[in-house]
Amino acid sequence: MSVVQLTDEERSTWLSTLEGWEMAEGKDAIQRTFEFGDFIEAWGFMSRVAILAEKQDHHPEWFNVFNRVEITLTTHDADGLSLRDVHLAKAINAL
């Protein structure tokens, strides 16, 4: 299914509403790093994000080491950033 990319104007508007998220370097994506007390807390967070991702049928690219989780959101079906990334980022921030 094809999805439309955000326009430049939409990107700056939406990004300003997404606390903690910034444009990724060298990729049409947004990213945020989360830090927790330990691995179990980080893993618990990842489990909750996984449930959100399944509900939204939109899945993160992520990297975890110990207490740190780096999340990158981009829309493969749009070959870049779309509203689906904004929706998932907002839901993650609300956890």
Ligand X SMILES: C[C@H](O)[C@H](O)[C@H]1CNC2=NC(N)=NC(=O)C2=N1
| Region from 6-14, 21-29, 39-47, 51-59 binding ligand X, contact rule CB under 6 A | 51-59
Which of 27, 34, 88, 38 has its CA nearest to residue 66? 38
Nearest CB to ligand X, comparing residues 31 and 75: 75
Nearest CB to ligand X, comparing residues 64 and 72: 72
What Rg do the C-alpha atoms of the chain give, in angstroms? Answer: 13
User: Is position 68 an interface residue for ligand X (rule: CB under 6 A)?
Assistant: no
User: Is position 2 an interface residue for ligand X (rule: CB under 6 A)?
Assistant: no
User: Is position 77 an interface residue for ligand X (rule: CB under 6 A)?
Assistant: yes
